[in-house]
Each structure stands twice: as C-alpha cells, then as structure tokens.
A and B are shown apart, each in its own frame.
Chain A
C-alpha cells in the first residue's frame, strides 16, 4: 500500500520531476517486432529502463484437456522477471506477484484477441522482464500485444499498457522507480487506443475523482503515442513488400 513518504522530494523546485520530465511526459519507448526466430511471434519493448521481451506460440491444442473451452481459445500468459532484472537478485520461478500479473494480463488479452476463432485451443504468451524500473506489467502487456500481432493472431485492436500516478499530491504520467516506491498512487491501465476501451485497470493508493480523471487523460494520451510506435515497429519489420 502506498502511503507516501513526506521526507522524499520527488518534484523539483522548477515543477519538473527528478529525471527532468514534465508531469505529462512519458519515458522514451522503443519497440522491435520479431526478435525471436523460434517463436511464432515476438517483440521487445524498451520503456525507460524497463526491457520486456514477449514470445507467442500457437494457437495449439490446449493441454491439459480440462482447460479447453469448446467455444473459444484460452490465453495462457506467463509473466516472469529475470533474476538479474533488478538490483536485488530475484529468486527464479513463480511468486504471488508474477501469478497475479500473469492472470490480469491474460484476462486483458482475452478481451482483445478474437478467441472464438480457435475453439479448444491455447495461445501461449511468455513475457520475460530483462530489466525492471517500475511499470513492467505495462511494458509486458505492450510487448505481448505486438508479439500477438506479429504471430498473426486476430485481434480487435493493439492493447497498450500504460500507467499514471500521484506524487506529492500531483498527478504524473508514467512513474519511474523512485516515484513508484515513494509516491502516493499508481494507476496502470490497458487501453485499446482505436476504440477508447479499457481492457484492464488496477489502482494502488488513493486518487480523488478529479485526480483519477486527469490520470486517465494522461494515460489515453500516452496510449496513443505508444500505439503509434507499435504500428511503426510492425510496419518497419515487414515494410517494402511487393507480395
């Protein structure tokens, strides 16, 4: 639970944040599609100092059979942080946090992928966080969406993961590590930029209705920017065709 730390200064005297960003400024984002030749689709997202790699396999027959759905595919997401992704080594393997993020990511993707096209099937999404600096679930979701598109999986839109939050009673876009650790609230959201729908939303900390509205405004603005980078990455990978 974010309680805030009164003695940690997160905003400079000139109104900017510690890393020099404006309140509604995002960390730099780079995306590359098709980075893993063995996967059906893959992508790497660099969001600030976060590095997320996603690989997609399938659709394939769902195993064990008890997880099969007769009318649709299931999406099996495995989110994992590499042991070397943070300054303190992480014990390898699943933990409570990675299970939770895997679950919410799978549910967000299921609302975007046209799962009814593949009954009894499974689409496997592996998200590996190679470097972490706050906002890894959002970077992972963005990477997974590009990897799914790269794999040719039909979707209603490209899902974008983005977060806003509150530091020193001020709403800011895209929290970095210090802001995440010492801030007052965090609002990660999965947005479908073309339709304006929200596929997942979590909130840690408290926001007033006005602060929430401003945070969502920041999130939608950032989602459109990231969406353009996602489209550019996919087009760059496959441009110059004469098919």
Chain B
C-alpha cells in the first residue's frame, strides 16, 4: 500500500491509505480499521492524541452535534417555527417554544423574518439528521448588527485555539466583538476598520489555512496592517 507523505510536522494522507497498525489504538474521525490496519478515509493531516488516531480533514462539511453554538440565517418562516440555514446538509428547525420570546401562533414573522441572523445552540440531532435549535440560553439572541463571515469548518478549532486563546488575541488585535459558530460562521461587530481587519484575517485563514498556522497569519497581519480601532 502507498505510504503518506511526511509534511513539516504532520503527514498528509489520502482516502484508502494505510496509516499504521490498529493494535492497541483507537480509530478516531476519518479512520476505519480493516485487517489490523488503520485506513484513512479522508484527505487530511494524520494526528495521534491520547492513543487515538484521527484525521484533521482539509475539507469537511459541517455535521451538527447537540450543544453546538451556531450562527444561523432564517431561511423559512411558518406560523409556529423558523427554519434556519446553519451551513449544514439540512436546515435547523427552531420552534417557537424554544425562542426567547413569547410568540403567538401566526406571529413568528414579527420576531424574525427571512434573512435575519441569530446566535443559537443545537438542542438535538436525531439519526436522520433532523436538527432542532434553541435560543433559550445565556447569550443566544438575534444578531441585529455586525458582519458574518464564512470560514471552512475545519479551521474553526484553530481560529479559537486552546481555551479560546487565539480568538482572544484576534479580538484584542481588532478591538471587535467576535463570536465563532461551530458551523463555520463568524460574527464580527465593532468599528469599520476593525471589522475590515478581522474579515481580511479570516479570509487569509480560509484561503491559506491548510498550509500556514493561524498564529503565523495573525503575526503577519499584526506586523503589516492593524485596525486603528
């Protein structure tokens, strides 16, 4: 079987590639076990942590999980519920019972209409990928101002960093409020120059994030142009 190429620190693997023996280890995301071998199923960087072998994919679709914080856009309104585009394969459903307001039957549109942006949490995902959202919780609300940026889902963890350390550095650098949804959407609010700086930074991460670390991109951005906010 073909072997993976060794990168600067990690190894880039392709689907079907044997990535090592499976004995004594667990298969994480992007890995299947076959004939005592771990086989990669996705294109991405191979990583091993806590005795679990997994793949950090280069491209990935958002798969909602219960508890995820997401930035949703209202796609459809019914009498008693909203359908949200959450950047996944399926729309998320927000019933009026899980909205933060007391909503009369038939009055859903008065609170939120098509195109409105909300910060919500995934309440439940069933085996058929039906997604139920909730807006009951601290900080969950309709986002009435600011800008929403789209980022590849696989870069979200790296933008946040350990304990949100990287995200805090980006917030400090542009002096903006930034909320990062697990679904690859980032909400930014602040001065126009700060928002422009943050959008430029996220755009660079989106286009070059598979070859350079967020840390390197942030340092370069800080050294060249910086928001004056």
Q: Which one of B42, B60, B128 lies within 8 Å of A119 (CB-CB)?
A: B128
- Among B12-20, B110-118, B135-143, the one that faces the other chain is B12-20
Q: Is the CB of B45 within 8 A of A121?
A: no
- B136-195 contacts to A (CB < 8 Å): 154, 158
For chain B, give the interface size range.
35 or more
Q: Is the CB of B5 within 8 A of A192?
A: no
Q: Is the CB of A152 within 8 A of B57?
A: yes
Q: Is the CB of A156 within 8 A of B16?
A: yes
- A223-243 contacts to B (CB < 8 Å): 227-228, 230-231, 234-235, 238-243
A230 CA / B15 CA spacing, docked (Å): 11
Q: Which one of A40, A41, A120, A228 lies within 8 Å of B90 (CB-CB)?
A: A120
A149 at interface (Cβ–Cβ under 8 A)?
Answer: yes
Q: How many A-B residue pairs have CB under 8 A?
A: 117
A239 CA / B9 CA spacing, docked (Å): 11
- A131-169 contacts to B (CB < 8 Å): 149-158
Q: Is the CB of A239 within 8 A of B12?
A: yes
- Contacts A119-B127, A121-B89, A155-B15 hold; do A40 and B43 have CB atoms under 8 A apart? no
CB closest residue in chain B, given A41: B59
- Contacts A151-B59, A152-B61, A231-B2 hold; do A58 and B89 have CB atoms under 8 A apart? yes
Q: Which residues does chain B contribute within 8 Å of A149, judged by CB atoms?
A: 14-15, 42-43
A-contact 0/1 string along B66-107, CB 8 Å cutoff: 000000000000000000000001110000000000000000
B41 to chain A, nearest CB (A): 4
A114 at interface (Cβ–Cβ under 8 A)?
Answer: yes
A43 to chain B, nearest CB (A): 12
A107 at interface (Cβ–Cβ under 8 A)?
Answer: no
- Contacts A121-B129, A152-B42, A158-B15 hold; do A241 and B59 have CB atoms under 8 A apart? no
Q: Is the CB of A240 within 8 A of B211?
A: yes
A240 CA / B5 CA spacing, docked (Å): 10
B52 to chain A, nearest CB (A): 17
Q: Which residues does chain B contribute within 8 Å of A151, judged by CB atoms?
A: 59
Q: Is the CB of B30 within 8 A of A154?
A: yes
- Contacts A152-B59, A156-B39 hold; do A241 and B16 have CB atoms under 8 A apart? no
Q: Which one of B41, B60, B90, B212 lies within 8 Å of A61 (CB-CB)?
A: B90
Q: Give the residue among A120, A158, A194, A241 with the most B Cβ atoms within 10 A.
A: A241
Q: Which residues does chain A contribute within 8 Å of B90, judged by CB atoms?
A: 61, 120-121
CB closest residue in chain A, given B12: A235
A235 CA / B16 CA spacing, docked (Å): 14
- Contacts A61-B89, A154-B42 hold; do A192 and B210 have CB atoms under 8 A apart? no
Q: Is the CB of A243 within 8 A of B210?
A: yes
- Contacts A239-B7, A241-B45 hold; do A119 and B12 have CB atoms under 8 A apart? no
Q: Is the CB of B2 within 8 A of A234?
A: no
Contact surface of B with A, Cβ cutoff 8 Å: 1-2, 5, 7-10, 12, 14-18, 30, 32, 34, 39, 41-45, 56-61, 89-91, 127-129, 154, 158, 209-213, 216
Using A155-B16, A241-B7 as known contacts, list a sample of 4 further A-B pairs with CB atoms less than 8 Å apart, ordered by residue number in A: A121-B90, A192-B16, A239-B12, A241-B45
Contact surface of A with B, Cβ cutoff 8 Å: 40-41, 58-61, 70, 114, 118-121, 149-158, 192-195, 227-228, 230-231, 234-235, 238-243
A-B contacts, 18 listed (Cβ < 8 Å): A58-B61, A60-B89, A114-B41, A155-B15, A193-B16, A194-B39, A228-B2, A231-B17, A234-B14, A238-B58, A238-B211, A239-B12, A239-B211, A240-B211, A241-B12, A241-B211, A242-B7, A242-B216
